[in-house]
Amino acid sequence: MLEEGTLSGPCSRALARAHAPFASRAVARPLHTRGLVTVTVGGATLGGSGKTRVALACVQELARLGANVVLIGHAYRAAPARARVVSARDSLADVGDEALACARALASEQRARVVVGPTRQSAVDLVAALAPRVDVIVIDGPLQLAPERSSLALLAVDADAPWGAGEVAPVGDLRAPRAALLANADHLVSVKATPAAATLGDRTVTLASLAALHHASRVGLFTAIARPARLERALERAGLAPHVVVRVADHGPMTDQARRRMGEAQVDLWVATSKCAVHLEGEELGRPLAILDGSMALLPLIVEELARLAQIVGATPTWVA
């Protein structure tokens, strides 16, 4: 309802006007960064902007440029007892789906790690103590920091609906008024919902190839994301329209009802994002699972900004195993 802006009555509009100044001030999150160079990636709307995809792409680019970089993720629906470096083998309950998916995407990167904690501050404190010294931290979530501003603040926006319903809650789904978001961002990054490729078994194929291979198949989609309709529309445009969609809440958890629906579904192929696929591990699907590749290419302007940060800190030794 927030995404569609359907709560537009007088009471909702009065509440939105009262909420807007607080939302504007909350754009800059209090965080002591311990002298580290920071890249913050926030989303324009309450979920579904693609900020984690942008943050991961920034980490991969910084590592390619020779910087030791840490992605500070969030652990939604999880409860880490302490700040920790996330392993690809960690449990979903300990670190959360997005941190686990990002750690797996970065498993081959010697210069990149993922850290989560009970709070972002505890995660930053751990990162500051790591050896060798971390050059840059990429923080998934806040657009801007206070009292010291981020070295680079990126605002992720959905390519099709960059400003959602155009209002803050409860009228719409913007995290803050558009003017406040723009004032705190150095650059906007437009994120397309359509993935470029997918992993099917031990093969990586383009989405077009997957659609051609399964043009006569019944496709099932499993989601544990905030805006599943955006992904559904993207798959339809790619020729991979799902016949069955099974949804659980953003970040899960998996439910008995979802298991039952998946068990009863008459499909030939299941499709899920890498984040959603984490929730299907250990489940008996009975059909192949294609995991959508959420990686994205950054615009040259953003790459130049990241290169500037990498030059500021200079190249450092690789991580000690």
- Cα separation of the two ends of the chain: 47
Give me the residue label for tokens 């929730």. Answer: 279
Helices 97-105, 51-64: axis angle to 10 degrees equals: 30
CA distance 82 to 241: 42
| Backbone region of residue 50 per phi and psi (left: phi > 0; alpha: psi in -120 to 50; beta: other values) | left
**Mind listing the pLDDT tens digit of every residue in the chain (321 residues)?**
777 676 778 898 899 999 999 999 999 999 999 999 999 999 999 988 999 999 999 999 999 999 999 999 989 899 899 999 999 999 999 999 999 999 999 999 999 999 999 999 999 999 999 988 999 999 999 999 999 999 999 999 999 999 998 999 999 999 999 999 999 999 999 999 888 899 998 999 999 999 999 988 999 999 999 889 999 999 999 999 999 999 999 999 999 999 999 999 999 999 999 999 999 999 999 999 999 998 999 999 999 999 999 988 865 545 543
Residues 6+ away with beta carbon under 8 Å from 127: 34, 36, 70, 72, 115, 134, 137
Contact 109, 60 (CB under 8 A): yes
| pLDDT score of 2 | 72
- Predicted confidence at residue 315, as pLDDT, reads 53
C-alpha span between 75 and 272 (Å, rounded): 20
pLDDT (tens digit per residue) in 179-229 = 999 999 999 999 998 888 999 989 999 999 999 999 889 999 999 998 899
In this prediction the pTM is: 0.93
State the pLDDT at residue 318. Answer: 52
Cis peptide before 21 (omega within 30 of 0): no
Exposure b/e, 97-136, CB count within 10 A at least 16 = b: bbbbbbbbbbeebebbbbbbbeebbbbbebbbeeeeebbb
| Domains of the chain, start order | 10-192+297-313 (3.40.50), 197-293 (3.40.50)
What's residue 175's pLDDT?
Answer: 96
pLDDT digits (tens, 9 = 90+) for 62-82: 999 999 999 999 898 998 999
Q: Which residue has the tokens 């499709």?
A: 271
**How far is residue 40's CA from residue 185's CA, in Å, rounded to a whole number?**
9
